[in-house]
Structure 1
């Protein structure tokens, strides 16, 4: 976990309420800079209402923690010497890693939001047992963290995105049907293989992707949105009034297992007729490219973009099976989308994963069925849009969670001058 050292924040005898007040003011200062960009100490004091001496002390601590840096002089327009601007630091950052059925995705960024690392590699999780998957995941995390260090950024945390039910408080994957995982202590397992002092979190992939969309995506700032990730499985993240909806136990968003067809095809969760049996990538491939459908055996599953590229090629060639398959998936996408609109009344449904890749072909049928099946007349104001964050959306959201933790509690970042991963090779 991230070090809870509070050197420089007050002595051990300092009253708890004073510590809490200082921590709150550090967050207030850091968030102000994050929202408004570089500001002088005087400008921060004027905007936040904090005393100038207090702001100076807060900024000094944030500088020591390497969370901000001083840049060129800022001219306020008044008389006197201009103050030096205080900006977010590019020296600290975070990693997000998504493990899915057929790929691993990595996103590394610094506190300013700059992308430092972004990559995706094929990964056949279906033909690996849990232990081997965790070994490979740990190695991928180790390499990514070390790469961030080599690029001059000290990572203070890492979030793993998993397609399934996650107990976020414990870092345990309760159930990931498409991975074949049940009650897997991912955070604890990774902590044994990574350097100490690193915060490790685990969360649902669609939830993290929804946070990424809300922050950086095509519908950024839309306070009510639903994000749908189209993979072998289908997941959803729901933003209501600007906040991620988790539910009583943190298990909301399992929209792929909405029962839409009683007596339908069996699902990886053990039930039948789930929505992902109608719109998941495996179903599209089965319908559009029956000669290359997913099946049992030892052969690795091809990368999802290879599957999508082949479907797109057949669509361009006017292949009847591919055209009908995509139209059918689009109709079922609208069917499930209408259920979500009736439940949450979002302003937009963002399509990620393979849905985004084929959005031009899927959205017309999906939008038409949404308009037909949604109850409220305002459903016409909700529309499907394609994500532009690609298959690394969940990993990006994972890195964002760590950055938000830094903002929420700057004192959780160690004051150590040396990167915590300096020993990683």
Structure 2
């Protein structure tokens, strides 16, 4: 049922009007969210499900139709003599959604319309670690503008751009506080990308890559709907997105999930963050390449080429051929994966740990030693009931999550899309 709050009591008529507008916006979001989640339905079905008056739903639906966010889809016949109902559904085919990711060695984009029709999806190899923030922002802007052109050709104008970054992000400012593997500090990424893109009038939102990938997994991945889960990125670095009780855990300052920098080996090698023995120095892609193919090894402060999927493909071929060095290297990474995973299970008690990126590509070999080590080290033992699962979203999970962030923004404020709002009526204010 819609949660309606009374308008703020401030002197003057304007404050009450603002309260009315806020209430209508909330009810528009409620109806649009129902259409997204439930598919086509009648206005009376929406009224029954949301608790809003039927007249209110009719008024709200008229505005959503006018904004192009909903469409009529036919007549429903209820019962033998029931009155026919006109069904409606989410539309938004003209509303473009763009998710992007910039990581150590690639830039990715994932573009859809509001209804989920995929319009563009690509990943471009790029040495962001070596190129520095200025050239990296130019490349991200170039790839984003190409994707926006693809959306436009499909008839969708971008309503927002989400950006996933491997590091600590001040979400409210759209700024990267610290991205150790990129060498970025205090970078106002949203502002810089807006300037780089130029004349596209769309808000830019930034968040941590693992957080966004976790949201993508929670909403549509292998563990969709699991209320307590951890997602692990498997890139050059390792990050974590933590879902607790169905909500993303951000922490006091929004910096939670930097699990790759758990100190697990005080005698280990230096990490890109400047510390010694971080978990990602044991399980990141650089660690695996160093052990499995030493002739192709690179350190965390140098630029890894080629594309990570190409490196993983080489290792997969070696595993299939029974190469003993590669088999031993993957098993060792699996054991360290289980050790770090046990720390997360002891802290958060998740039901699943979803492995993304290269972890997912090599899951068949990684999960058995990881699961065995986790079960050996978890304090609660079998009672914890946590298992590793391989993501099916591949290296595109973070850009999909960035797109989901934009979708949520549109759903939460439909008034940002389309034509001018319809007049607020007394029935709208009555709500339910």
Shared topology, TM-score over 0.5?
Answer: yes
Structure 1, 117-126 or 394-403: larger mean CA deviation? 117-126
Secondary structure, in 3 states, of the residue corresponding to 1:161? strand
Asked if 1:225 corresponds to 2:229, the answer is yes
Q: Which residue of 2 aligns with 1:83?
A: 85
Question: Aligned partners of 2:237, 2:384: CA distance in 1, in Å?
Answer: 27
Going from structure 1 to structure 2, the CA distance change for 1:12 and 1:196 (only over 3 Å counts) comes to farther
On the 8 A contact 1:93/1:403 being kept in 2, the answer is no
Partner of 1:29 in structure 2?
31
Number of the residue aligned with 2:288: 284
State how far apart, in whole Å, the 2-side matches of 1:358 and 1:382 are. Answer: 19
Per the TM alignment, residue 164 of structure 1 is displaced from its structure 2 partner at its CA by 0.4
Question: Does the CA-based 8 Å contact 1:334-1:370 persist in structure 2?
Answer: yes
* Distance (whole Å) between structure 2 residues aligned to residue 413 and residue 341 of structure 1: 42
- Secondary structure of the residue that 2:233 maps to in structure 1? strand
Structure 1 stretch 44-53 or stretch 74-83: which is displaced more?
74-83
| 1:99 aligns with one of 97, 102, 108 | 102
Q: Which runs of 4+ in 1 moved over 3 A?
A: 11-14, 78-81, 295-300
With over 3 angstroms needed to count, the CA separation of the structure-2 counterparts of 1:414 and 1:237, relative to structure 1, is same
CA offsets 1:43-85 (integer angstroms, 9 cap, x no match): 2223222222211110111112221111122223363552222
**CA drift at 1:16:** 2.5
C-alpha separation in 1, matches of 2:80 and 2:165: 52
SS in 2 for 1:333: helix
Distance 1:159 1:69, change over 3 A: same
Structure-1 separation of matches of 2:260 and 2:124: 24
Equivalent residue for 1:140? 143
Which stretch has the larger CA shift, 333-342 or 50-59?
50-59
- What does residue range 111-190 of structure 1 map to in structure 2 within 5 Å? 111-190=114-193
Provide closer, same or farther for how the CA distance between residues 208 and 296 of structure 1 changes in structure 2, counting only shifts above 3 A. closer
Corresponding residue number in structure 2 for 1:8: none
- Output the TM-score relative to the length of structure 1: 0.92
Are the equivalent residues in 2 in contact too, given 1:315–1:323 (CA < 8 A)? yes
Partners of 1:379 and 1:102 in 2: CA distance: 40
Q: Does 1:351 align with 2:339?
A: no
The match for 2:8 is: none
Instruction: Give the whole-Å Cα distance in 1 for the aligned partners of 2:240 and 2:301.
Output: 29
The Cα RMSD (Å) is: 1.9
| Partner in structure 1 of residue 367 of structure 2 | 363
Aligned to 2:252: 248
Deviations 1:106-155 (A, max 9, x none): 11122222322211121111221210100111111111112111112222
Q: Any idea what the Cα deviations from partners look like across 1:146-191, whole Å, max 9, x if unmatched? A: 2111112222001110000000000111111111111111100111
Rounded to whole Å, the distance in 2 between the matches of 1:297 and 1:241 is 37
Residues 351 and 384, structure 2, Cα contact 8 Å, conserved in 1: no
Q: How many residues align?
A: 407
- The answer (yes or no) to whether the contact 1:93–1:109 under 8 Å persists in 2 is yes
Helix, strand or coil: the match of 1:227? Answer: strand
Q: What's the CA shift string for 1:222-272, capped at 9, x where partnerless? A: 000000001000000000000000000000000000000112100000000
Among 233, 237, 240, the alignment partner of 1:236 is 240
Instruction: Give TM-score, length-normalised by structure 2.
Output: 0.90
CA deviations on 1:266-324 (whole Å, 9 max, x unpaired) are 00000000000000000000000011112599986110011001111111121111111
Q: Within 1, Cα distance between the matches of 2:303 and 2:256?
A: 33
Give ranges in structure 1 of 5+ residues lacking alignment. Answer: 1-10, 418-425
CA contact (8 A) 1:345 1:379 kept: no
Q: Measure, in 1, the Cα distance between the counterparts of 2:348 and 2:382.
A: 12
Change (3 A) 1:296 1:279: closer
Contact 2:176 2:185 in 1 (8 A): yes
Distance 1:358 1:35, change over 3 A: same
- 1:256-271 correspondence runs (5 A): 256-271=260-275
Task: State whether structure 2 residue 74 is matched by structure 1 residue 72.
Answer: yes
Runs of at least 5 residues in structure 2 that lack an aligned partner in the other structure = 1-12, 422-432
